[in-house]
Structure 1
Amino acid sequence: MSERFQNKVALITGGSTGIGLATAALFIREGAKVYITGRNGKSLDKAATELGPKGVAIQSDVAEIADLERVRDRIKEEDGRLDIVVANAGIAENNTFGETSEAEFDKTFDINVKGLFFTTQTMLPLLSDGGAVVLTASILSGKGFPNMSLYSASKAAVRSFARSWSNDLRERKIRVSAVSPGPVQTPIMENGLKMNAEQIEQYRAMVAQVAPLERFGEPSEIAEAIAFLASDAARYITGVELSVDGGMAQV
């Protein structure tokens, strides 16, 4: 096992399940101390038990700046710095164009855009020069799936942040990149998109037809891509979008 994150301190928002949890586990296996955040206390407690003593769980809502400041202050008190920020927290919900409410719009953009923006900005004073920021976007930022316009637009904003912040942070040599997963079965499918088992299997069959690798991805596979971009192996990479999608949006 490599130790590419030995003595590093990382924050992963949305780290209690799915891609965030898989990334936290990988970082810890490779030497990091990892703070994870999430809104669900039970999920956080379960994740903290799974991660062990080098995983620190903090209940926090990325859409609430006061919560983000509390997370920042906790990290400052305990470690005094961050080397890696993985802004991963987000939601995916269907919306019907022509019937979408203001509340639906605000919910998606408050978490996926405002939350990601202020997560990163709030942690900047702690982020080491030469550190790394990895943003979780989505291949849907460049696709036009029906009933997903809010989610797709919010993830397009995330992709744009990676470009802009790479220049904003150039003097501090902080690298900013985006990972865009393809279809991965995580709790978002059931909890956010409200897909039942039959619908998930139908989606899986569709992916097998259109993606060259013919399957869903695994959270651990997205975690590996995030770890690469956060590591010194990617020290000459910034501003990019790395699609991890089995080729679904590429061919």
Structure 2
Amino acid sequence: MTTRHSKDLAGKKAVVTGGTIGMGQAVVRALTDRGAEVIYTGRSENRLAEAQAALDTPLAHPIRSDATDMAAIDALGDQVADILGSIDYLFVNQGVAEFQTLEEVTEDSWDRIFDVNAKGSFFTVQRLAPLVSEGGSIVFTTVSNDQIFPGLSAYSGAKEAVAAFAKVLAAELLPRDIRVNSIAPGFILTPTMGVAELTEEQRSEFIEQGNASTPMGRGGTVEEVAAAALYLAVEATFTTGLELPVDGGFGQGIGH
């Protein structure tokens, strides 16, 4: 991507929430490789430091922020305004999943998953949308939800909520010429596989199930997700209100 695009995003500015690992970090890297200046967030100081070392570029600015904390979201808006001023692209990527069956879900676990995935995403956009320049774009991360495994009811519900209000916001932000789209990843190979407190054994089992369920027969890479996210943000200038599956055919009814 760096060779093909060179530094075509030099002068552009972006925010990536949940940008310390996996898909989020890949989006940050893809942006900075193309010359954009990026603020990215995470809740863990250690992960922020590790990400900054891995990214190894002055174009990336780590900010500790908790998407479940309204005061932190407000402070993030102030920091983005101070450091970047306006922004061209906003990638709302934070998320957490927990495998829990119907009997295992508690009110606390339900609230935790909805607070990060749905509430946090919505109010992050509410706070940062005024900073998005006319002609800019917002990209949410949802999930390929057409076929799912048992135990992800809260997570799937929260991500469906994100997909729904992404479409509404696409309509609401049309007068400012801001496009709003979503990427819907399937099985993507990340350190956590998007699931909290996954053991190595569970991760291996999850990958095996994912490979078997994906028509292309493998998990996707974080770079493939980042490429799709940047396509929607940068190249797809006549596209809004779209949820783009990045799932190897997982939710597309393709025989496997």
Cα deviations by residue, 1:76-103 (Å, 9 ceiling, x for unpaired): 1122101110000010111221332111
Find out whether 1:237 has 2:226 as its counterpart.
Answer: no
Letter matched to residue 36 of structure 1: Y
Which segment drifts farther, 177-186 or 194-203?
Answer: 194-203
The residue aligned with 1:111 is: 116
Q: Secondary structure at the match of 1:208?
A: helix
Return the offset for 1:227. Answer: 0.7
Q: Which runs of 4+ in 1 moved over 6 A?
A: none
The residue aligned with 1:177 is: 181
The residue aligned with 2:199 is: 196
**Cα distance, 1:197–1:173 mapped onto 2, change above 3 Å:** same
CA contact (8 A) 1:4 1:31 kept: yes
Letter matched to residue 206 of structure 1: Q
CA contact (8 A) 1:163 1:240 kept: yes
Map 1:46-57 → 2, pairs under 5 A: 46-51=50-55, 52-57=57-62
Letter matched to residue 113 of structure 2: T
Return the offset for 1:190. Answer: 8.0
The correspondence for 1:248, drawn from 235, 247, 250, is: 250
CA contact (8 A) 1:180 1:243 kept: yes
Give the whole-Å Cα distance in 2 for the aligned partners of 1:191 and 1:133: 24
Give the whole-Å Cα distance in 2 for the aligned partners of 1:104 and 1:199: 20
Return the offset for 1:144. Answer: 4.1
Unaligned 5+ runs, structure 2? none
Find out whether 1:160 has 2:164 as its counterpart.
Answer: yes
The residue aligned with 2:73 is: 68
Give the whole-Å Cα distance in 1 for the aligned partners of 2:207 and 2:75: 40
CA contact (8 A) 2:15 2:91 kept: yes
Unaligned 5+ runs, structure 1? none
Give the whole-Å Cα distance in 1 for the aligned partners of 2:122 and 2:200: 34
Find out whether 1:59 has 2:42 as its counterpart.
Answer: no
Map 1:33-44 → 2, pairs under 5 A: 33-44=37-48
Which segment drifts farther, 211-220 or 194-203?
Answer: 194-203
Q: Secondary structure at the match of 1:249?
A: coil
CA contact (8 A) 1:139 1:181 kept: yes
Find out whether 1:212 has 2:221 as its counterpart.
Answer: no
Give the whole-Å Cα distance in 2 for the aligned partners of 1:211 and 1:76: 42
CA contact (8 A) 2:73 2:127 kept: yes
**Cα distance, 1:77–1:200 mapped onto 2, change above 3 Å:** closer
Give the whole-Å Cα distance in 2 for the aligned partners of 1:96 and 1:204: 20
**Cα distance, 1:190–1:32 mapped onto 2, change above 3 Å:** closer
Return the offset for 1:169. Answer: 0.5
Cα deviations by residue, 1:203-248 (Å, 9 ceiling, x for unpaired): 33333333221101111110110010110x2000110011101111
CA contact (8 A) 1:92 1:188 kept: no
Return the offset for 1:66. Answer: 1.1
What is the number of residues matched between the two proteins?
248
TM-score normalised by structure 2 residue count: 0.92
TM-score normalised by structure 1 residue count: 0.94
CA contact (8 A) 2:97 2:194 kept: no
Letter matched to residue 24 of structure 2: G
Return the offset for 1:180. Answer: 0.6
